């Protein structure tokens, strides 16, 4: 008797390609938000801006998805 392993089935319409997580350094965060370093760090201290992650001994970066979500939360379309 043969054993057949079945792979999970997903529809091509529902399976979105996974986008790799991207980290943004401070100059890119400044460019995307329009804020300078002092404003970013002040908002982090006030807990109104995403915190960076440590990627090295002297290197931090922000998750792109968190920055995008932060920008989207502040974008309002007036009707």
pLDDT digits (tens, 9 = 90+) for 18-27: 677 899 999 9
Beta strands in 1-79 (DSSP E): 23-24, 53-56, 59-63
CB atoms within 10 A of CB 29: 20
Entry pTM: 0.70
Give residue 30's pLDDT: 98
**pLDDT tens digits, 31-72:** 999 999 999 999 999 999 999 999 999 999 999 999 999 999
Give residue 5's pLDDT: 53
Closest by CA position to 33, among listed 6, 5, 79, 73: 73
Residue 13 has pLDDT above 70, yes or no: no
Give residue 23's pLDDT: 96
SS3 39: helix
């Amino acid at each position: 008797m043969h054993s057949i392993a079945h792979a999970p089935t997903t529809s091509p319409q529902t399976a979105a390609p996974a986008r790799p997580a991207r980290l943004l350094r401070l100059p890119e965060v400044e460019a995307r938000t329009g804020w300078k370093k002092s404003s970013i760090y002040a908002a982090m201290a006030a807990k109104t801006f995403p915190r960076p992650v440590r990627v090295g001994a002297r290197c931090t970066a922000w998750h792109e998805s968190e920055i995008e979500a932060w920008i989207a939360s502040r974008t309002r379309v007036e009707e």
